[in-house]
Amino acid sequence: DAKTTQPTSMDCAEGRAANLPCNHSTISGNEYVYWYRQIHSQGPQYIIHGLKNNETNEMASLIITEDRKSSTLILPHATLRDTAVYYCIRSGSARQLTFGSGTQLTVLP
Amino acid sequence: EPEVTQTPSHQVTQMGQEVILRCVPISNHLYFYWYRQILGQKVEFLVSFYNNEISEKSEIFDDQFSVERPDGSNFTLKIRSTKLEDSAMYFCASSEGFYSQETQYFGPGTRLLVL
């Protein structure tokens, strides 16, 4: 039970922003929201994480709703290399990440 | 940028043989993990390790599996007697700390094929 809900797949045009939603309506107060991605069968790549506030790094932005029940990962200018499966994961403990099926993002030329 | 490395990248073995998968975690990290991903399925947690002890393990991590930190840099996963269903990608990860805000960084994986 991944405890997050994500769309199975999304498309995005190259150069446009990709907005990937995640629902985590039962998240508890001490759980962080983590985003990873996996390109083909490579190792999951860390993207960003947050608790309450919006976060931004060189890869992406993370917008968390005020009630923390959902979040959106934003890739501001998607490229073909961003085609991957994106996982939204709740992390109450860093010891055991529970991966769901994620969202297959396809960036189209 | 520091990264987790894993060797070998591919391993083919016969059913019943022992295999050892090796990982070099990021140098200042203290917590280590193994995950696996059977082809077409989700990434699954196997075990976490700290201070030379297993911290948590999943029900997948049965007596056929063991982990070890044989020296100051390597972290290994041993499968004693491989089965066909052990064929999977095996990912090592490490984190600096053990709390929910401590990010786990993954290696590129070892593809294990059991014939």
Chain segment A9-37, per-residue pLDDT in tens: 999 999 999 999 999 999 988 889 999 99
Phi, psi dihedral angles at B86 (to 5 degrees): -80, -5
Cα distance from B58 to chain A (closest Cα, Å)?
A: 9
Indicate the average pLDDT of chain B: 94
Q: How sure is the predictor about A94, in pLDDT bands with cuts at 50, 70 and 90?
A: low
Residue A88 pLDDT > 80, yes or no?
Answer: yes
A104 close to B (CB below 8 A):
no
A98/B contact by beta carbon, under 8 A: yes
A50-61, pLDDT tens digit by residue? 999 999 999 999
Nearest-Cα distance to chain B for A103, in Å, is 12
- pLDDT over 60 (residue B54): yes
How many residue pairs bridge chain A and chain B with CB atoms within 8 Å of each other? Answer: 70
Distance CA A54, CA A67 (A): 13
**Strand order of the sheet with strand A70-75?**
A18-23, A70-75, A61-64, A55-56
